[in-house]
Amino acid sequence: MLVGATSEPGGESVAASADPGSARRLQPLLHDLVGTVMAPTSALSGPDGQVRPAGVQGLFHADRRALSQVVLLVDGREPEALGHVHEGAGRTRFVSVVRWHGDAIADPTVRLDRVREIGAYGMGERVEIVSTASVPVAVTVTIDVACDFAPIEVVKSGGPAAAAEPDGSGAGELWWKSEAGRVTVVGEAASAEAAPGGGRLQWEVSLPPRGRAVLRWEAVVDDPAAIVVAPAGAPEWSRPEVSAADRRLTRLLGQSLEDLRSLRLAEADAPEDTFLGAGVPWFLTLFGRDSIWAARMLLPLGTGLAAGTLRVLARRQGTRVDAASGEAPGKIMHELRRHEFALESENLRLPAAYYGTIDATPLWITLLHDAWRWGMPEGEVAALVPALEAALGWLAGHADPDGDGFIEYVDTSSHGLANQGWKDSGDAVRFHHGGQARPPIALVEVQGYAYQAARHAAALLDAFGRPGGSRWRDYAEALAARFRERFWVDGPDGPFPALALDRDKRPVDALTSNIGHLLGTGLLSAEESERVAGLLAGPSMAEGFGLRTMSARDAGFSPLSYHCGSIWAHDTAIVMAGLAREGFGAQAAGLAEGLLAAGEAFGYRLPELYAGDGGLGRPLPYPAACRPQAWSAAAAVTVAHAALGLYPDVPGGRVLLRPLAGAPLGPVSARGLRIGDASVDVAVDSAGRPTVSGLPAGMALDIA
């Protein structure tokens, strides 16, 4: 926080400046808030369970805040919080004590548990008051509520949002109505009273000695204009039974799978196809890149999520050229909102359907290929081949606007994202000396994605009797030759691939985690992969809790920068997976250990990102990180998958088993992984020897 800034937990900060009369709005902080989620609904509160009218606290539904305050009082006072625990997807228990009641002894004798449950269309709480006192206890319990219908972009910008006046009350009920819908609050056996700026539910509770009472209330959101809804049915992936000597892995995986279950979404007009919302609170909607990566990471648990994600994005594939939205024929979209997403302080105005991403299209192609290899039904793959061909059309044309043979981006709208790779903050692409690159920009990892997508597309075209396979294999080889000629630069520790090429085709010579995304794509030779693996394992990059986004030796490095020195769980997992696939077991194990240590420090709910500080003994939070977040949660699956090393090729009839050499994470086993329709069990013993059972009939096994 800036010197002289003021803040309250989870609240809006106002930075002091040289002019005491001036102030700027700051994005509210998240790191000290507790999220309870069942998409498209989420609640963010303090660790005590209170939702205060500050910052980003509130009950949200599909990009809009429904309740901006939910404060529970006992006799007009706040209970004293002891702690909270997540009890599964969409459920959190907050525990507090009421020490001014009960026996006059040191031990608290009146306890209050607040069990919060989020459903797809609202929130309910069960308030349990338990007395172990030897005397009767009489209390007045109130819950003060307020509603502001604030759009998520107003909340994100730290902007003001006035509480709405209730439209009515009666019989334990309060309600608010606007063009955004209706919010109804109902207290079972409570009295309800409207008041300026909100309303109150109230209960009178009398407990006999050692007595107990349960109070219930709920908030229901009616939002007919929402474009995302909760999908029906159970999750589209298996829940494997995982055993590991390192209990951190099983704990991280267990919490992550619950978080992933809570992030499932579908489109309102096509509820049969499920995808994962990117993260709470800012991105609980369809994000092309994020949803694709999360689905790809979950392929060892089944292809259902990948199939739904592929179909949703194919339906919204670009059909025209539109500078305002970034749309182009064949292009896969970036994000979907109910209306324009505007942050005036950043000169950012994104249309409801925004296509400003350079990497989602090649990643979509690779997800289709990988899902096919994991056993996605052939008919479902075939139905997406026309979308594949359209995506290849974009890759052959609009992806390379200046015709230099590299995939590059530039925001021609002047109000979209300045950077359009996964590191999309405005200052993410920096030279070693700290200066920022100017667009058009060709990112290093995107060239790897394009190379891999071209080769994967060629395999799919051949398999499904479509022309063009040879063309795309030639495209890939020509891209590799150009890449080798233009991207490699010399640094203090020898040659490495630059972060990008700028508008003048100069290599952007910062050492970043982006180059780790090349591992496993096939773009690098064996010698080049070894160079990259060694550099990423060095002390300036591998920080002990994961992989820094930028080397600590670069001038632009800051451990609390969004993309220039922080650590992202998904980024670390992607690089770890590439290292494991290419046989760099020791380096992969080091990153896996970092993720497990970070998971333990964050209560096994990995945030979107955290600080890249070293030597502090535990990771520091990045204060505005989403949590839970889809690809961070999916990183736990990637850690388990890398340890086990199961790589199927269902169309080819083969399975490769290549666990991390020497079992650096100790013995690991998983029962209930999925290859096609088959439930597969894999185990790696303490010596690193793998075994597998349950493979689909006729599949040959190769052990590396």
Question: CATH number of the domain that 250 lies in?
Answer: 1.50.10.10
Residues 232-283 pLDDT 10s: 999 999 999 999 999 999 999 999 999 999 999 999 999 999 999 999 999 9
Residues 322-335 pLDDT 10s: 999 999 999 999 99
Write down the pLDDT at residue 639. 98
Residue 608: domain span? 229-690
Nearest 5°: phi and psi at 622?
A: -85, 125
Listed range (6-10, 39-43, 520-524) with the worst mean pLDDT:
6-10
Nearest 5°: phi and psi at 281?
A: -100, -15
Per DSSP, the residues of 383-446 read: HTHHHHHHHHHHHHTTT-TT-SSS--B--SSSSS-S--SSS-STT-SB-TTSPBP-SSBEEHHH
DSSP class of residue 127 equals: E
As a whole number, mean pLDDT of residues 530-544 equals: 96
pLDDT category at 196 given cuts 50, 70, 90 is: confident
Q: Are residues 380 and 499 part of one domain?
A: yes
Residues 624-665 pLDDT 10s: 999 999 999 999 999 999 999 999 999 999 999 999 999 999
Question: How many angstroms separate the CA atoms of 443 and 427, rounded?
Answer: 14
Write down the pLDDT at residue 203. 98
Closest CA to 178 of 190, 191, 163, 192: 163
Question: Measured on CA atoms in the order 15, 17, 23, 25, is the torsion positive or negative?
Answer: negative
What predicted TM-score, i.e. pTM, was given to this entire model?
0.95
Q: Which two tokens stand for residue 487?
A: 């991207």
Q: Are residues 578 and 467 part of one domain?
A: yes
Would you say residue 25 lies in a domain?
Answer: no
| pLDDT, averaged across the chain | 94
Residues 445-468 pLDDT 10s: 999 999 999 999 999 999 999 999
Residues 366-400 pLDDT 10s: 999 999 999 999 999 999 999 999 999 999 999 99
Question: CATH number of the domain that 137 lies in?
Answer: 2.70.98.40
Write down the pLDDT at residue 431. 98
Q: 44 pLDDT exceeds 80?
A: yes
Q: Are residues 375 and 298 part of one domain?
A: yes
The last residue of a domain, from among 206, 226, 246: 226
> How many CB atoms lie under 10 A from the CB of residue 485?
8
Question: How many angstroms separate the CA atoms of 549 and 546, rounded?
Answer: 10
Q: 698 pLDDT exceeds 60?
A: yes
Task: Map residue 181 onto helix, strand or coil.
Answer: strand
Would you say residue 340 lies in a domain?
Answer: yes
Question: How many angstroms separate the CA atoms of 477 and 244, rounded?
Answer: 41
Task: Map residue 340 onto helix, strand or coil.
Answer: coil
Question: How many angstroms separate the CA atoms of 107 and 92, rounded?
Answer: 25
Question: How many angstroms separate the CA atoms of 429 and 421, rounded?
Answer: 10
Q: How many CA atoms lie within 13 A of 507 on its CB side?
A: 21
Ranges of beta strands (E only) in 167-207 are 168-170, 173-178, 181-187, 191-195, 198-207
Q: 7 pLDDT exceeds 50?
A: no
Q: 5 pLDDT exceeds 70?
A: no
Q: Are residues 661 and 520 part of one domain?
A: yes
The last residue of a domain, from among 173, 191, 226: 226
Write down the pLDDT at residue 23. 62
Would you say residue 561 lies in a domain?
Answer: yes
Would you say residue 54 lies in a domain?
Answer: yes
Closest CA to 336 of 65, 120, 63: 63
Q: Are residues 401 and 550 part of one domain?
A: yes
Q: Are residues 609 and 590 part of one domain?
A: yes
Q: 20 pLDDT exceeds 50?
A: no
For residue 677, give Cα distances in angstroms to 463, 475, 521, 673, 699: 21, 34, 27, 10, 13
Q: 14 pLDDT exceeds 50?
A: no
Would you say residue 701 lies in a domain?
Answer: no
Question: Measured on CA atoms in the order 454, 264, 571, 411, is the torsion positive or negative?
Answer: positive
As a whole number, mean pLDDT of residues 15-28 equals: 57
Write down the pLDDT at residue 415. 93
Would you say residue 434 lies in a domain?
Answer: yes
Q: Are residues 247 and 113 part of one domain?
A: no
Would you say residue 24 lies in a domain?
Answer: no
What is the bridge-based pairing of β-strands 110-119 and 122-131? antiparallel
Q: Are residues 404 and 505 part of one domain?
A: yes
Q: Are residues 173 and 250 part of one domain?
A: no
Q: Are residues 503 and 408 part of one domain?
A: yes
Write down the pLDDT at residue 666. 96
Number of domains in the chain: 2
Task: Map residue 150 onto helix, strand or coil.
Answer: coil
Q: Are residues 508 and 366 part of one domain?
A: yes
Virtual torsion, Cα 182, 187, 192, 196, nearest 10 deg? -50
Q: Which residues of 682-701 are buried (b: 16+ CB within 10 A; e: fewer)?
A: bbbeeebebebeebeeebee
pLDDT category at 24 given cuts 50, 70, 90 is: confident
The last residue of a domain, from among 226, 246, 273: 226
Q: Are residues 497 and 443 part of one domain?
A: yes
As a whole number, mean pLDDT of residues 475-500 equals: 97
Would you say residue 27 lies in a domain?
Answer: no
As a whole number, mean pLDDT of residues 682-692 equals: 96
Q: What amino acid is encoded at 554 in this protein? A: D
Q: 13 pLDDT exceeds 90?
A: no
On whether the CB atoms of residues 221 and 29 are closer than 8 A, the answer is no
